[in-house]
Structures are given as C-alpha cells and as structure tokens.
C-alpha cells in the first residue's frame, strides 16, 4: 500500500529545511518527471501545448517547456501573467530560449494542464471555466500536472475540472485525488519524485491507497483439513431473500467451509448452500441486513449480540438497533445514503448524501474516531475503509459494479473471510480488493455484469 497525505506543503518545506533542497530544485524534478514520461511514452507525438497559470503549478509547466524544447514542437499558453517568483524566474529562462508563447488554444497531440495545482483556493471564474471546457473538448492526450485544474484540496469540483488521461502528482499521493468526484478527472495517477526518493520525502501517515498486492486470498496452506476448518457462515435472509442467497453464494465460492441461509420459510437453495431456521450452533460468522426488510426486533437483537464476527449491511442502517452494537468488533458496509442514516442515528451529523459525497474523507474519520472498534467500509467510486483512525482507499472500483446485487456479493465475501478466521480489517481489505479485481477482470462490457458473473470472476482470482 502507498501513503496518502491531506497536504504536501509541509513535506515540501521539510525538503528545503531538512535536505537543503531549494524550491528551484524541486520544481526541476517535478518538470523532469513529466518530461521523462512524455519522452518514454509519447516519443512519436509532435505538438505539445502547455497551459500555465500564474502560480507554481504554472511554473512547473514553464520549466517543462524548457526541458522539451526542440525535441518536440512545444507551445506555451499563459492564462495569466507569471505571479510567483518561481514562475517569473522560469519565464525568464524560456524567454532566453525563445520558446513560442501563443494566445490561441489548439488541439495539440498532447496537452499539459498546469493552470492550478494545490493553490486553487476559490471557485473558477468564467475565463478559467471556458478555458478548461475548451481543453476538455479536444481529442489530445491530456496530462494533469500535480492535480487536474478545478479540483480543490478537498477533492471537490465546483463547476468544471480538466479531464486528464494521466495525472503526474508531485512528491506524494494527495487525498483530493481520491474523492469520488475526482475519479472522472484524474485518469491514471503516477507520483513524481522531487529530488529525493519518495520514502525519504514522505513522513508518517494514517491514510493509505491499497494495491493489488494487499489482497490476501484464502489459499489453503494446510493439507490436513476438513470443511470445519474453514468456518461456517450464517447469512440471515429477510423479505428480499435473493439478497441473502447472493451473499451466501459469494461466501461459499470465496472459501467458507459451510454456508447456511437463515430463514423461517423453506427456501429453494442451490445444492451447496444449507438452510437453517435459526442461527447454527457452530456458526463462526454472521452476515445480516441485506434484503432484511421487516423483522422481529428481539430476534435480530439476539442475533446481533451473538458472540461471533459479524458483517452488517443495508436495512439495519435505518434502525436504532444498530447503535446497540457499535462498541463491538463488527464490520459495517453502508452505501452513502445508508451512511447518512447511520451518522444521524449515532448523532454524529444530520447531512444529505451530497454533503457526504463532497466530504467523504471528513465524515468517515469522524465516525471511526467515535467507534474505534468498528471496521467501516463506505461504498463509492473509491471505496473508503476505516478502522480506529486508520483509513484505506480502494480505487480499483468501476462502473461495472454499479448494479443491484454487487453489494450483496461484497457482504458475502467479507462474511466468508470472517467465518474463516480473518480479523475484521483484513477481511474487509481483501474482500473489497477481490470484489473490484473480479469486476475489472470481467471483460464483456461495463453494463451487463450479473452477481453470478462477479462470483464466477471471484472463483478465477
């Protein structure tokens, strides 16, 4: 996993003070990283348009123009006059080289967006909005320097933002790149070193971006085993029984030795799933909430107080009963609307979904601080997992998963690992990665995925 930071100004400052690197040197490395990327990946392209603002993001762009001059047909567009001292210095350097400054935008082979970086501190005016809209309308390959212009430090987009194919971000990963809104703008993200290795530049952080290698699949490492060695998950099926059956099916395919669906009515289940009317004596984990609908409160309370690992989803986020278990080691997997209800029930905030979506990295830590034993997974374009003030982002999700039943599969995967003895955080991290990797491997199209297709891909991981 890789560290994520809310801000990097203090890390830049640490570089000046601790390693005696100058701002000029850092900027040279920033621009050099973009130049190397272009030389290595787009050597056959001819024209490059670099669009610069008045601050140091613009200065990165002006420096880049100098580095690529002569190798490519480089044109600089200055959206406003160089303001920061670094921008002015870099500008004098390109003037000395007679690099062409243009007043009209055009569809170059590559566009590099250096309009605003981390210094964006107010809404875009009409001129900047129009400029970004024009750049977005071009078919050029689009590179964002540090962060696509228009995304602020909270990962919010007020009107428009540059739609990058790739973002080359300076020094370290920033939280703002991983808001749900940012997902449509950042493209692929790579980190540029600023004169020292990344591990030297970075300090401690409690936020992490998950990599594929963080997925710890339940491969068997003991030969002497039987079905009881891999746990028994009970999935409580409610009114909408399909949800529970999907979860149970996913759980069985993800390695749980036994899976039972708990339901008072007799169900017609696939042969590998068992049915029980009450929680099994030997169950090692419970999944509850999906498709639950109306139910007997006392019965659910009894299940929630059973001393085994639990994953709770869906309908229970609208019931005050949930507040009774928040001091247990449990897993909660709400989508944004359910999380808003949960925040209200536990008196943290009374907010609408839009407010949450604009501030996911604010409300998730608030919840975790109040309930450190809970492992929370907030669904979204970029899934956020949090436990005891540590936060993990899974950015592998895609629109393929935006279908009914995907969440039930995820609950089943988490339940399966809990039943097999994983702790809450490990279950959630591995299940979430497996869920998104399976969706990524589904190669038909991005609209037709069925829960059964997803489970089929899980089987192939």
Ligand X SMILES: NC(=O)C1=CN([C@@H]2O[C@H](COP(=O)(O)OP(=O)(O)OC[C@H]3O[C@@H](n4cnc5c(N)ncnc54)[C@H](O)[C@@H]3O)[C@@H](O)[C@H]2O)[C@@H](O)CC1
121 binds ligand X (CB under 6 A): yes
Strands (E), 183-247: 188-192, 207-209, 232-236
Q: Residue 149 binds what, of ligand X, K ion, none (CB under 5 to 8 Å, by partner type)?
A: K ion
- Phi (first) and psi of residue 211, to 5 degrees: -105, 165
Q: Residue 47 binds what, of ligand X, K ion, none (CB under 5 to 8 Å, by partner type)?
A: none
56 binds ligand X (CB under 6 A): yes
Separation of alpha carbons 389 and 405, rounded Å: 30
Least Å from the CB of residue 150 to K ion: 8
Separation of alpha carbons 255 and 253, rounded Å: 6
Least Å from the CB of residue 260 to K ion: 53
- Phi (first) and psi of residue 92, to 5 degrees: -60, -40
Chain centroid to Cα 407, Å, comes to: 16
**Choice between 134 and 297, CB closer to K ion:** 134
164 binds K ion (CB under 5 A): no
Least Å from the CB of residue 219 to ligand X: 43
**Contact pattern from residue 5 through residue 44 relative to ligand X, giving x for each residue in contact according to CB under 6 A and a dash for the rest:** -------x----------x--xx--x--------------
Q: Residue 420 binds what, of K ion, ligand X, none (CB under 5 to 8 Å, by partner type)?
A: none
Q: Is 387 known as a binding-site position?
A: no
CB 131 within 8 A of CB 51: yes
- CA–CA distances in Å: residue 61 to residues 41, 202, 273, 397: 18, 24, 59, 31
Number of shown-chain residues binding ligand X (CB under 6 A): 29
> 158-192 b/e with 16+ CB inside 10 Å = b?
eebbbbbebbbbbbbbbbbbbbbbbbebbbebebb
Separation of alpha carbons 379 and 453, rounded Å: 20
Q: Residue 113 binds what, of K ion, ligand X, none (CB under 5 to 8 Å, by partner type)?
A: K ion
Binder of ligand X out of 91, 116, 396, 422 (CB under 6 A): 116
Binder of K ion out of 49, 145, 194, 429 (CB under 5 A): 145
**Choice between 64 and 110, CB closer to ligand X:** 64
Binder of K ion out of 63, 149, 176, 309 (CB under 5 A): 149
User: What DSSP letter does each residue of 254-316 carry, written as one string?
Assistant: TT-SEEEEE-SS-----TTSEEESS--TT--EEEE-TT--S--HHHHHHHHTSSSEEEE-GGG
**Contact pattern from residue 138 through residue 157 relative to ligand X, giving x for each residue in contact according to CB under 6 A and a dash for the rest:** -------xx-----------
72-91 residues in contact with ligand X (CB under 6 A) are: 83-84
**Choice between 23 and 426, CB closer to ligand X:** 23
Chain centroid to Cα 303, Å, comes to: 32
Residue nearest to K ion (CB): 149
Residue ranges for the known binding site are 56-60, 113, 117-123, 146, 149, 243, 291, 335, 407-408
């Amino acid at each position: 996993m890789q560290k994520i930071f809310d801000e990097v100004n203090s890390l830049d400052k640490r570089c000046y003070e601790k390693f005696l690197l100058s701002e000029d040197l850092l900027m040279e490395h920033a621009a050099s990283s973009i130049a190397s990327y272009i030389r290595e990946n787009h050597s056959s392209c001819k024209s490059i348009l670099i669009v610069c603002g008045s601050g140091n993001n613009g200065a990165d762009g002006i420096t880049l123009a100098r580095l690529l001059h002569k190798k490519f047909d480089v044109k600089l567009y200055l959206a406003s006059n160089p303001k920061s001292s670094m921008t002015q210095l870099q500008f004098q350097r390109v003037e000395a080289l007679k690099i062409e400054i243009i007043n009209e935008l055009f569809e170059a082979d590559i566009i590099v967006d250096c309009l605003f970086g981390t210094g964006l501190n107010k809404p875009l005016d009409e001129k900047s909005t129009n400029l970004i809209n024009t750049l977005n309308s071009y078919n050029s390959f689009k590179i964002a320097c540090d962060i696509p212009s228009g995304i602020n430090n909270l990962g919010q987009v007020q009107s428009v933002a540059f739609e990058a194919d790739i973002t080359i971000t300076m020094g370290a990963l920033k939280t703002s790149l991983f808001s749900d809104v940012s997902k449509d703008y950042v493209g692929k993200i790579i980190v540029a070193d600023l004169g020292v290795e990344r591990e030297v530049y970075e300090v401690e952080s409690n936020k992490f971006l998950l990599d594929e290698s963080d997925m710890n699949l339940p491969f068997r490492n003991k030969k002497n085993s039987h079905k009881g060695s891999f746990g028994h998950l009970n999935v409580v099926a409610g009114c909408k029984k399909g949800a529970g059956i999907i979860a149970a099916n996913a759980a069985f395919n993800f390695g749980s030795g036994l899976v039972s669906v708990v339901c008072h009515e007799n169900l017609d289940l696939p042969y590998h799933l068992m049915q029980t009317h009450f929680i099994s004596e030997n169950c090692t984990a419970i999944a509850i909430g999906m498709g639950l609908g109306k139910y007997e409160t006392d019965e659910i309370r009894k299940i929630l107080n059973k001393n085994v690992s639990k994953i709770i989803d869906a309908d229970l986020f609208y019931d005050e009963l949930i507040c009774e278990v928040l001091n247990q080691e449990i897993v909660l997997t709400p989508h944004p609307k359910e999380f808003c209800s949960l925040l209200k029930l536990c008196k943290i905030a009374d907010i609408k979904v839009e407010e949450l979506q604009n501030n996911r990295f604010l409300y998730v830590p608030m919840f975790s601080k109040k309930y450190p034993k809970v492992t929370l997974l907030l669904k979204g374009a970029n899934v956020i997992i949090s436990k005891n003030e540590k936060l993990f982002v899974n950015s592998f999700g895609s629109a393929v998963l935006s279908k009914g039943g995907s969440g039930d599969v995820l609950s089943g995967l988490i339940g399966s690992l809990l039943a097999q003895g994983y702790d809450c955080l490990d279950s959630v991290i591995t299940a979430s990665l497996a869920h998104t990797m399976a969706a990524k491997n589904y190669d038909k199209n991005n609209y037709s995925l069925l829960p059964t297709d997803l489970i089929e891909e899980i089987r192939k991981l």
